[in-house]
Amino acid sequence: MIEAQGTTVAEVLAAGLAGDALLQSYVLDEQGRLRKHVNIYLDGTLISDRLRLSDPVRSAAEIYVLQALSGG
């Protein structure tokens, strides 16, 4: 678990991933956009803005970052 502050999903991700370049590369691509195989849930609901990550975040919110898996 990572604790981070911010008023939008983008701000929280930036703060939470700032110290770990490898983890950041799993979540965001080279342009800083959310990777296609990653889903983000805000308090149990899929975020609506995957492009700018502008969904508002309240102070006690929980954000879950999940990587989709495929295979057989």
Q: How far apart are CA 71 and CA 43, in angstroms?
A: 28
Q: Are 49 and 55 in contact (CB under 8 A)?
A: yes
pLDDT at 71: 72
pLDDT at 49: 97
Averages of pLDDT over each 10 residues, the chain, 72 residues: 94 95 95 94 97 96 91 68
pLDDT at 1: 86
Strand order in the sheet with 38-42: 45-46, 38-42, 63-67
CATH fold for domain 9-67: Ubiquitin-like (UB roll) (3.10.20)
pLDDT at 72: 64
Q: What is the DSSP letter of 11?
A: H
